[in-house]
Structure 1
Amino acid sequence: MKKLINAADKVVDEALAGMAAAHGDLIKVHFEPNFITRADAPVRGKVALVSGGGSGHEPLHGGFVGRGMLDAACPGAVFTSPTPDQILAATKAVDGGAGVLHIVKNYTGDVLNFEMAADLAKDEGVKVEAVIIDDDVAVQDSLYTAGRRGVGGTVLAEKICGGAAEAGQDLAAVAELCRKVNSNVRSMGLALTPCTVPHAGKPSFTLEEDEIEFGVGIHGEPGRKRIKMESADKLAEMLMEPIIADLPFKSEDKVLLFVNGLGGTPLVELYIVFRKAAEIAKAHGLTIARSLVGPYITSLEMAGTSISLLKLDDEMLRYWDAPVVTPGLRWGA
């Protein structure tokens, strides 16, 4: 195992210390328990957004804390759900009196721990709503979930709902918008290589040199099938067709096309995938109104990609375009 770490049990704490040193103008990092808030939290009268999950998916979630996106993020150990005490502390720290929305990826530990934290926060007088993100069309159930997994759509929900909250929408409206985003986004990914969790010290699964895990989860969970290597165009077709069929998307729909890197894939390859995915979308009569390309929800050093397609309406477009200032995403400011 070759990694730029000092010790496996210090990875998260030292990464958080590095984030604090690099982005102290945007975020504040809290320890024992670990969570990240925007530097000006709590913002009075504004709905606060809180998300979280295992570390190793950076910039998700901590890199998306800041104006126009999340108010707080709770980083668990690598590929491990954050604990209820982290989530409760973050929720209370960013509550500005207008309530808190929990955006939760559909992994069993995340769901249970966010539910417990929400109950505790409500007991202390904090208004909390939660929305589960489950946009992965690869599988109905996996080792980590009951139902579909939450993957790339999480980034899109955090940005769009962050824009709505920053604009002054109330808790019910922001939660409903989050549910709308989730119901209109579909994703699927593939892995060219496994990744190595620092505590494990060995790859999370094995692939032959000519094999791909098709439909892989962001923790390396098995997908639909293991296949032989194909061209980028063929793989983009294999990802896009079930995504388009699942919603289903219709001719003349406006969409946001998001091609994500899983950590070990260079942008030059992601743009090759985007090129073909865009061609396929247009062949189905879809209009690509917005796009995002890059490593925004990763799996350590895993090589691979995921594609997310979001059917847009005017509300989602407005809040996607709204200013955002975070370590991992910023425009319009």
Structure 2
Amino acid sequence: GMLDAAVAGAVFTSPTPDQIYEAIKAVDGGAGVLLIIKNYTGDIMNFEMAAEMAEGDGINIEKVVVNDDVAVEDSLYTTGRRGIAGTVFVHKIAGAKAEAGGTLVEVKNTAEKVINNVRSMGFALTPCTVPAAGKPNFTLGEDEMEIGIGIHGEPGTMRTSIMKADEIVDHLLDKITKDLPYEAGDEVAVMVNGLGATPLMEQFIMNRRVSEVLKEKKIKVYKTFIGEFMTSLEMAGASITLLKLDEELKTLLDASADTPAFRQL
């Protein structure tokens, strides 16, 4: 009910074109393969190279690029917005569409609909340590936090003194809801995503405020996901994702899925 393959490179590094190519061949059942790529320069370059190799073998390839992060428009790592935890909703809903028998083009169009309606933003309280580097990939003071952080430790929009959970949520949701925008009467799925070292209890504290703010804005919460869906090693922090729903997306979101990191029966 989700992806047929996920290709892992070295930590915080894109997989190589050869790895991606082998994954494409492994999952192709004759109807073609959809590549879901987060918007990072290395990922896009390597996936496009792999797609060309697969197309040379006669495999039909379609691609979508996820860019749900509202924090920064361009960075050292991207042209345009970064892809972060909203990608999980793309995986879930595109996978359900494929499981229901959608054609490659139909699955791509559904994935694009999710991308067009999903927005995210996160924060970090501590950095993480890439094993190969052996040291934190950025530094924060004991009383500091980074707003708008990327999932690989990329810089955010501002560094500030640590704020209370409600203040953090208010700041993130203000940016998220104004971006699409999300408006009164909309129905959404919510994801509060831990980055690796944030206790579940604190994620639920954040979600309490998310629910309050959306109720004030008359935005209806259809379904809530709380937990660690897209992490950044041992980074303390979290992100919030909103997905605007229609009837098709609700049906696909509710469809069963059974994977190691996401189970919905």
Q: TM-score, normalised by structure 2?
A: 0.99
Pick aligned residue for 2:42 from 109, 121, 141? 109
**Match 1:258 to one of 191, 199, 202:** 191
Partner in structure 1 of residue 55 of structure 2: 122
Structure 1 residue runs of 4 or more that deviate by more than 4 Å after TM superposition: none
Structure-1 residue corresponding to 2:163: 230
Q: Does 1:193 align with 2:126?
A: yes
Partner of 1:190, secondary structure, is strand
Contact kept? 1:196, 1:203, Cα under 8 Å: yes
Q: Percent identity?
A: 57
Residue 123 of structure 1 and its aligned partner are, at CA, apart by 0.7
Matched, 1:220 2:153: yes
Q: Indicate the RMSD between aligned Cα atoms, in angstroms.
A: 0.5
For the residues of structure 2 that align with 1:303 and 1:142, how far apart are their CA atoms?
22
Within 5 Å, give how 1:43-122 maps onto structure 2. Answer: 68-122=1-55
In the TM superposition, residue 282 of structure 1 has moved relative to its aligned partner by: 1.3
Residue 85 of structure 1 aligns to a residue in which SS? helix
Q: CA shift at 1:141, angstroms?
A: 0.9
Are 1:302 and 2:249 an aligned pair?
no
Question: Does 2:200 align with 1:267?
Answer: yes
Structure 1 equivalent of residue 182 of structure 2: 249
Instruction: Give the length in aligned residue pairs.
Output: 265
Report the secondary structure of 1:76's partner residue. coil
Q: 1:6-40: CA deviations, max 9, x gaps? A: xxxxxxxxxxxxxxxxxxxxxxxxxxxxxxxxxxx
Q: Deviations over 1:100-149 (max 9, x none)?
A: 00000000000000001011101100000000000000000112111100
For residue 91 of structure 1, what is the amino acid of its counterpart?
Answer: I
Gaps of 5+ in 1: 1-67
Query: Structure 1 CA distance, aligned partners of 2:130 and 2:114?
Result: 31
How far the C-alpha of 1:294 sits from its partner, in A, is 0.4
Describe the superposition over 1:166-215 as per-residue Cα deviations: whole angstroms up to 9, x where unpaired: 00000111001111100101000000000000011111100001100100
Partners of 1:198 and 1:291 lie apart in 2 by 33
- SS of the residue corresponding to residue 102 of structure 2 reads coil
Q: 1:89 corresponds to which letter in structure 2?
A: E
- Determine the C-alpha separation between the residues in 2 that align with 1:143 and 1:266: 30
Q: Which amino acid aligns with 1:299?
A: S
Q: Secondary structure at the match of 1:195?
A: coil
Amino acid at match of 1:209: E
What's the TM-score, normalizing by structure 1?
0.79
Are the counterparts in 2 of residues 257 and 278 from structure 1 also a CA contact under 8 Å?
A: no
